[in-house]
Structure 1
């Protein structure tokens, strides 16, 4: 049985690096969230072949790395299918522990790969609502943002938190319209029917 929580960033990073995969945890998570938000069927393994093509020239991943990717996929699917309207971002440790620049770079990687994930899932963006198009436009702008080391880093950390919150809202807006919805009872605790 797999865990339905995202793995630790540093542990997953070590696994991906030792497997010689040219993707970091933030990129992996952004890609998977993008694919699921773009309409990829969450109940089959289509995501694996897309992931292999995008990250490893079509070659499969080593078992340990694939198990970790499965864990990321399962946790992401569970979160997106819930009714809580929350989204976790797989980024380096909290801002207080990791350097602000590292977190900002990873966040940019996450957003860029989310957008790529939408493309891999063949999201129907041309037919999308104006809200979805605006959300995607905001994400494209966010992906270009950076941290200026000359400015007040504490203030920039606060701004980064606000931008991350806005990005989550954009992602959830896109998923709400384009992502697959859970079948009735799926993702919920099933209760026996009494006859």
Structure 2
């Protein structure tokens, strides 16, 4: 399923189940868990806790969430930096709002996977600090659309690379053994 159709299907299912998060927020949360190095089945419990007060999700929503998780995990483990944020493709203001919600939930998932996150230093610590600052940025609908779109694309790329940086930092990589 393409990124856009998964976004649309999940948003529709989240609304029909009266779940108070968006697809972007859910993807941010899952991305944070994965980037924080959590790759076991406990992600399901964390998602159930965050989205549904600890109760298991309805089957259709659970399937879509699992699909989103697997897609995200695959992208983060890809050596070609294929990871992309799942956010709206609608108007620029909706994309910006989705990105801010995505970042907030990413930081939540990352914090759950890495409880000592506040003590992280160096490039990763700086990047996490930057993410917190990005969520404070605002815009005015009267701002120059072209400039705003350019700034959004720049920030979106920075966020994407920060996720990959965190994933590389917190995920144990087993070296491949090549036999000659």
Q: TM-score, normalised by structure 1?
A: 0.83
Q: What's the counterpart of residue 107 of structure 1?
A: 99
Distance 1:179 1:152, change over 3 A: same
Of the candidates 30, 36, 39, which is equivalent to residue 38 of structure 1? 36
Q: Distance in 2 between matches of 1:39 and 1:178?
A: 5
Q: Alpha-carbon deviations, 1:147-186, whole Å to 9, x = none?
A: 211211121011100110011111111111012436859x
| Correspondence for 1:193 | none
Q: What per-residue deviation string (whole Å, max 9, x for no partner) do you get for residues 130-151 of structure 1?
A: 1110010111111122221121
Q: Tell whether the 8 Å contact from 2:33 to 2:109 is kept in structure 1 after alignment.
A: yes
Paired residues in the alignment total 177
Task: State how far apart, in whole Å, the 2-side matches of 1:148 and 1:180 are.
Answer: 42
Rounded Cα–Cα distance in structure 2 between residues aligned with 1:182 and 1:99? 42
Contact 1:25 1:91 in 2 (8 A): yes
CA RMSD in angstroms, aligned pairs only: 2.0
Give the match for residue 18 of structure 2.
Answer: 20
More helix, by proportion: 2
Conservation of the 8 A alpha-carbon contact between 1:124 and 1:178? no
Residue 6 of structure 2 is matched in structure 1 by 8
Who is 2:108 aligned against?
A: 116
Instruction: Identify the residue that residue 44 of structure 2 maps to in structure 1.
Output: 48
| Residues 153, 183 of structure 1: alpha-carbon distance in 2 compared, 3 angstrom cutoff | same
Choose 153-162 or 117-126, whichever is displaced more.
117-126
**For residue 188 of structure 1, what is the aligned residue in structure 2?**
none
- Alpha-carbon separation, structure 1, partners of 2:130 and 2:152: 14
For residue 62 of structure 1, what is the aligned residue in structure 2? 58
Mapped contact 1:38–1:124 kept (Cα < 8 A):
no
Q: 1:182 to 1:15 in 2, by over 3 A?
A: farther
Gaps of 5+ in 2: none
Residue ranges of structure 1 left out of the alignment (5+ in a row)? 186-195
